Chain A
């Protein structure tokens, strides 16, 4: 039994439940003193557009959809490959128990108690305009990095799981059909859903049953001789290859359309149709992880690997602290969640007491997704690097459980990863465009058609030439730093209303120090390799094709971004801590 993933996954789930039942509810009652009789912004500022009360079950689903992306899937598997499954498991469990739900829930309560306002206005109110401006600049660069990372993950799966693209095309077709049926032809929603789902099923079974449809194949635009000549594994995805360029162009077109067309026409019906099979995939892999003693799958991965790796020998990874804590991003805690938790959801909470199940509950559910991702990688003996390893692991778990041929689950999880990735990354490009429009109103940078091109160009370049794992750690660093800043902001607010802050201040300091260290480390690694003119890991392919110069430029840009975000993050941390001290002392904060 102990050599299967099941007991560890169950342990994690039980600990999450206990944390929720005792610790989380204590915080809700004693520190925030949530009162179901106090009117929420949904009732006080009702406008029928954004502020209106919504059932907590609907909000739970909406919150989970907004926060769950590729983070809990790719992060844990990368960490298991770097450090072994024991450290990864411990961080996913303990991180979620003491830091993850704390951030999501507290950001939601922070917004709830401040008339449903989001992070920007609250930062302004507590600490003044300067800190708010720094936060917004930080957000712009954060969005560029996260887009690059997601592009790479999606390209990796599209390349290594042939047939995914065809199946996802059918999902898009289903989405567009649904939109047209609902809006143009005014069809009944249930009937339109069934039509759209039928299209998705046709696509799914065609791809699973007809091998000829599984095009394009892996690395289809590059000749096998190229890989053989330089000793590159032809089953993996390599930066700089024509295949990667092809997929990058396809993705960029998709993102551009999603960023400039109105949401209900294209983006949202696709999200709707794409999420229905994704829910099935998510639930299946968790059940399969728990039933591993019955299916006979055992742990194949090493429990603990090296706790430190010299960057000159292997640039991917690094010391256990701080790299583990930023490799597993959304599975344990994620800064993006604080933006979402203070976004639409608090404007629609019907009762104050709903914030805990919606905010805290959805974060713990995401922790469960991270646990299932760890289980998926645990059962693989020789997982290939990259996100496609998750598809492989999940396929193994579920096909053994359901006793079906591999190909069915392979396509399902390929669709799952690509759809989950596309849903959130299309949103990133859109949000970038909206933020640029706000900040650069008159200039061309703020133009609706130009700013998406800007982010697609920069993120595309970083994804095209970049070393994927280092980019992921970079993304983790920026994401978690945002989380640390959010936690400290919540501590500042609690100090301003004379409530105890330890439960959020201590995790905030821990996250801030860890992520600043991680960003510094990654900037150092990028800078070192740029200075030495060496390609990092898989960048070797790009170096071979286009010369070392382009690789050095990419690493220099990454190092520059890293240094900038490090400086911005350090300044913001400083202001947050001084603000906290001042509010604790009861002094007025100069804004």
Chain B
């Protein structure tokens, strides 16, 4: 990578990266709402899956494993620092 690109990435990290991860977290919370309602049953949440969940499956299928891991991952207070 050229020096200019490296410098650009460092400045991106200094200024924007924190913002983009915060926005991703907000987006994830909104997505979670949808996923919980349709596929919450997979995590043991007692929501009866509506018929439409089945029809949505092919679209959400690639993300199910990642989503489950994200929802069930251990979290603690020190995760909130950064």
Contact = CB atoms under 8 A, between A and B. Distances in A.
Given A271-B15, A272-B19, A344-B21, A49 B70 contact: yes
Interface residues of B, number: 35
A56 to B, nearest CB: 9
B55 interface: no
Contacts of A264: 19, 22-23, 26
A431 B80 CA distance: 7
A58 interface: yes
A373 to B, nearest CB: 19
Interface stretch (A115-123, A314-322, A410-418, A568-576): A115-123
A180 interface: no
A49 B74 contact: no
Contact of B77 (A57, A62, A435): A435
Interface in B1-28: 1, 6, 9-19, 21-28
Interface in A24-80: 45-50, 54-55, 57-66
A65 B73 CA distance: 27
Contacts of A120: 76-79
A344 B25 CA distance: 12
Interface stretch (A210-218, A335-343, A460-468): A335-343
Nearest to A66: B82
B18 A66 contact: yes
Contacts, number: 121
Nearest to A68: B14
Contact of B13 (A50, A62, A117, A121): A62
B25 A50 contact: yes
Interface of A: 45-50, 54-55, 57-66, 117-121, 124, 136, 139, 262-264, 268-269, 271-272, 275-276, 279, 339-340, 342-345, 431, 434-435, 438-439
Q: For the complex of A and B, list the 7 residue pairs with the smallest distance between their C-beta atoms, beginning with the closest.
A: A61-B13, A343-B82, A120-B76, A57-B9, A61-B14, A58-B13, A120-B78
Interface of B: 1, 6, 9-19, 21-28, 63, 66-67, 69-70, 73-74, 76-82
23 contacts: A47-B67, A47-B73, A48-B66, A49-B28, A50-B21, A57-B1, A57-B6, A57-B10, A57-B13, A58-B17, A63-B13, A65-B14, A118-B79, A120-B79, A264-B26, A271-B15, A279-B11, A339-B82, A343-B79, A343-B82, A434-B80, A438-B77, A439-B77
